[in-house]
Amino acid sequence: MKIASLQVQINDSETAADRMKKVDAQLEHLHGYDFILLPEIWMTGYNTFNRYMEEAEPLDGAFAAHYAKKAKTLHAYLFAGSFVEKSGGQYYNTSLLFNREGERIAAYRKIHLFTYGSEEGELLTRGTDPVTVETEFGKVGLATCYDLRFPEQFRKALDRGAKMFLVTSAWPLARLEHWKLFNAARAVENQCYLVSCNCVGNNQGVILGGHSRVVDPWGNVLATGDETESIVTAAFDLSMVDQIREDFPQLKHRVPIN
């Protein structure tokens, strides 16, 4: 399986249309990949809170329709990152996963909204349930940025059959070491592959951390970005998860703690 994580640069001079045009041009270089990832609220810019409401869209709006077509054209699973979803007078940080035919197979509303120096928790409504979805390679669990700090969400996805986690993010450079730690920890403790996609650049004075990662179930980093706009790629066999869990059966040794 070939996977590509598109580490998008965010700056305050671009419009959403500018950024979509740039991302679409980069996607054209990714034919032949099985999974492609984009980062968190990349079209608007995660920290551009004053544009959340005006750029919000319904689940079946223009953003979703556009990247459904891109997934079909690329013949790839496209984790389109997240956007601000408007639904029934409420707003969510929602990420979308499309299959090779351009069908939306999952929509995940971020559960753990960030409130430390962020307006996300004031403007948006949190999701309520982890999302795990079947693909031709096996089940994958979806997560967004701050979710990484809450291992119980990933454990729930594991219990639902996840063998790989896809994480969309706008994690800041100031806490880069935490980012690296949690990427590895969530993979190792659940014996899953983890693929993350983070932004880079300067968005409303926040320096974004980059270092999008591909981590195997042993915690080995198979590929990583730096702090520049780039495409992080890797190839691996997701069926190896079963063999690793058999060789080192830590998950069978779990003891329920009430």
pLDDT tops 90 at residue 131: yes
Question: What pLDDT shows up at residue 142?
Answer: 98
Of the pLDDT bands very low, low, confident and very high (cuts 50, 70, 90), residue 257 is: confident
Of the pLDDT bands very low, low, confident and very high (cuts 50, 70, 90), residue 138 is: very high
Please name the residues in contact with 211: beta carbons below 8 A apart, sequence gap of 6 or more. Answer: 176, 179, 180, 198, 224, 225, 226, 227
Of the pLDDT bands very low, low, confident and very high (cuts 50, 70, 90), residue 160 is: very high
Of the pLDDT bands very low, low, confident and very high (cuts 50, 70, 90), residue 218 is: very high
Percent of the chain surpassing pLDDT 90:
99
> What phi-psi label fits residue 121: left (phi over 0), alpha (psi between -120 and 50 degrees) or beta?
alpha
Nearest to 231 by CA among 206, 208, 197, 207: 197
Q: Which member of 70, 110, 120, 197 is catalytic?
A: 110
Q: Secondary structure of the chain: what % helix, strand, coil (to 5)?
A: 30, 35, 35
Q: Which member of 70, 145, 163, 197 is catalytic?
A: 145
69 labelled catalytic: no
Question: What pLDDT shows up at residue 81?
Answer: 98
Percent of the chain surpassing pLDDT 70:
100
Q: In residues, how long is the chain? A: 258
Handedness of CA 213, 231, 86, 121 (dihedral sign): positive
pLDDT averaged over the chain?
A: 97
User: Across the chain, where does the E strand assignment appear?
Assistant: 2-7, 9-11, 35-37, 77-87, 90-98, 104-109, 131-135, 138-144, 162-168, 193-197, 200-203, 206-209, 213-215, 221-224, 230-235
Phi, psi of 193 (to 5 degrees): -75, 150
40 labelled catalytic: yes
| pLDDT (tens digit per residue) in 26-56 | 999 999 999 999 999 999 999 999 999 999 9
pLDDT tops 90 at residue 59: yes
CA angle 176, 179, 183 (to 5 degrees): 150
**Distance between CA atoms of residues 43 and 20, nearest Å:** 6
Phi, psi of 17 (to 5 degrees): -65, -40
Nearest to 87 by CA among 113, 106, 66, 109: 109
197 labelled catalytic: no
Question: What pLDDT shows up at residue 151?
Answer: 98
Of the pLDDT bands very low, low, confident and very high (cuts 50, 70, 90), residue 143 is: very high
**Cβ atoms of 153 and 143 closer than 8 Å:** yes
**Distance between CA atoms of residues 45 and 170, nearest Å:** 9
pLDDT tops 90 at residue 256: no
Query: Which is more confident, 256 or 158?
Result: 158
Token pair belonging to 177 = 């070491």
pLDDT tops 90 at residue 6: yes
pLDDT tops 90 at residue 251: yes
Q: Which member of 40, 70, 192, 199 is catalytic?
A: 40
| pLDDT (tens digit per residue) in 185-205 | 999 999 999 999 999 999 999
pLDDT tops 90 at residue 92: yes
Tally of CB atoms within 10 A around 61: 13
